Amino acid sequence: MQNKIISYFWGTLTFILLSSSQQSEMISGKVIGIQDGDSITLLTENNIQLKVRLEGIDCPEKKQDFGSVAKQFTSDLVFSQNVTLQITGNDRYRRTLGYIFLPDGTNLNEELLKAGLAWHFIKYNKSPRLAQLESDARLNRVGLWQLSNPTPPWDFRKN
């Protein structure tokens, strides 16, 4: 019981410190978990586990068309890899928001859009670059854009 309290204390303290950090802070770590296409767990160099939600995109849910494809795509690119996280903030579920970069500079967030495995989450992100990547994938009917009328994950979650 005492270990759980101590773990909770350090996790809360870490969250507070990261929440108060400057925008665009860069953190390195190893990806140790993939929850779905746009959510991962990062083990930082300080042995802190961060739940990370990819900034600016929204992948299909696991039970949606292309949901498992998006998760596998993310896993193939970053699982067990050392990556850099560019922190942009926190979401309402206390996850760290940000962009994930592989050692070669590949941006995971952008790769998911290019592969047609995510929507640009325009409600929370106004990046013209991300909007263009989604538009290109739609135009080329890549990934989920092969479907006649794909349901955005935010609509799927409402149901």
Q: Which of 55, 95, 111, 134 is catalytic?
A: 95
Q: Which of 61, 110, 111, 134 is catalytic?
A: 61
Per-residue pLDDT of the chain (159 residues; tens, 9 = 90+): 555 444 444 444 444 444 444 457 999 999 999 999 999 999 999 999 999 999 999 999 999 999 999 999 999 999 999 999 999 999 999 999 999 999 999 999 999 999 999 999 999 999 999 999 999 999 999 999 999 999 999 999 998
Instruction: Note the pLDDT of residue 2.
Output: 58
Q: Which of 53, 55, 110, 134 is catalytic?
A: 53
Instruction: Note the pLDDT of residue 157.
Output: 95
Give the CA distances from residue 121 to residues 7, 21, 143, in Å, rounded to whole numbers and listed in that order: 33, 24, 17
Instruction: Note the pLDDT of residue 156.
Output: 96
Instruction: Note the pLDDT of residue 159.
Output: 84
Instruction: Note the pLDDT of residue 24.
Output: 77
Buried b (16+ CB within 10 A) or exposed e, 81-115: eebbbbbbbbeeeebbbbbbbbeeeebbbbbbbbb
Q: Annotated catalytic, 138?
A: no
Encode pLDDT of 34-49 as tens digits.
Answer: 999 999 999 999 999 9
Q: Which domains are delineated in the chain?
A: 2-158 (2.40.50.90)
Instruction: Note the pLDDT of residue 74.
Output: 98
Instruction: Note the pLDDT of residue 20.
Output: 47
Q: Annotated catalytic, 55?
A: no
